Amino acid sequence: MDVRIVVCGLGRVGKAFVNLLIQKDKDLQKRYGLNLKVVAAVDIGGAAVSPQGLPLQDLMAHLERGGQVETLPGLGKKGYSGAEALSAPFADLLVETTPTNIKDGEPGLTHLLTALKNKKHVATAAKGPLVLRYADLKALAEKAQVKLMISAATAAALPTLDVGLSCLAGTEVISAEGILNGTTNYILTRMHEEGTPYADALAEAQRMGVAEPDPSLDVEGRDTGNKILLIANEVFQAGLSLKDISITGITKVTPEEIQQAKKQGKVIKLIGKVERKDGKIVASVGPIPLSAAHPLAGVRGTEKAMSYLTDTMDRVTVSGGKSNPIGAAAALLKDVIRIYKG
């Protein structure tokens, strides 16, 4: 089966996705019968476009030399937009990897809306459009009878949604707790294990490339909040928005609090949580002291994990998964495969 893909965003995740297509081309055809062709690669200044499929190795070599997609010889189009590519008849599916924008969701929101209105499947790593317009996007996908896959937006390679939606089918999920941000978990791990002050642990994470130069999205808990919101709405059908979630980050966690928890045999983790409470679905984010017996207590460093409590399967926990562009790209590829192979 030929699948014609529009990739919007050729940053680290977009490039990693294209490289995965190159590396796994024969395996995808042999195992799944899928011939995944990129017919448009769109970035800020324009696009490279070929209805027959772009020469991906040539494209990546061009980008590695410092070129832009719109200057790819013979195939580049300056000013060509994602909306134009997604309105064209030669595309089947959008892979969205533009940067997360929680203010207005753009440019990802326009890309998702255009794709769904034109009855094209979507696999997205961008959280902004989903956080801001989740219900609208789901309704559009349902009306168009296409798939909207969001695994890469909910902790990248960690299969949070796969477990909650597929592996726990037939159960009632009572609660979900997750360590969903590798940066904050690294900082808290250093504070707990080495007694490192918060500011020093953050600076160390930035030197290592674990934390961004502006770490506020992570350390203030907003990244975890975005992810737990999507998990709540997908797994619990909660219909929540960000304003419904209580969010506290780790910036005010003191060494004294870390040591007090340690004396009690506990460890402080930044936890995103969804639970059924008094007939409602309640979601929150905050630093919580966990007992040593808790399945998330031993999650160290940049690792992430998700733990579901159910009525019939008891507790099911999954951890690990690469927390980097390759992991996010792998989640996108997984979603593309699931769209066409169930």
Catalytic sites, residue numbers: 227
CB distance 175 to 313 below 8 Å: no
Per the structure block, which two tokens stand in for 70? 């719109």
Helix axes 198-208, 182-194, angle to 10 degrees: 130
CB 188 within 8 A of CB 312: no
Q: Which helix (H) or strand (E) holds 326?
A: helix 325-341
125: closest CA among 240, 273, 14, 39? 14
Element (H, E) at 111: helix 108-117
How far, in Å, CA of 143 to CA of 107, rounded?
Answer: 22
Rounded Cα gap, residues 242 and 225, in angstroms: 7
DSSP structure string for 216-282: HHHHTSHHHHHHHHHHHHHHS-----GGGSEE--STT--HHHHHHHHHTTEEEEEEEEEEEETTEEE
Distance CA 34, CA 39 (A): 15
Measured CA to CA in angstroms, residue 245 lies from 199, 288, 304 at distances of 26, 16, 20
Between CA 3 and CA 37 the distance in angstroms is 6
Quick count: other Cβ atoms within 10 Å of Cβ 280?
9
Is 195:266 a contact under the CB 8 Å cutoff?
no
Beta strands per DSSP E along 125-240: 148-149, 173-179
- The two tokens of residue 58 are 């040539």
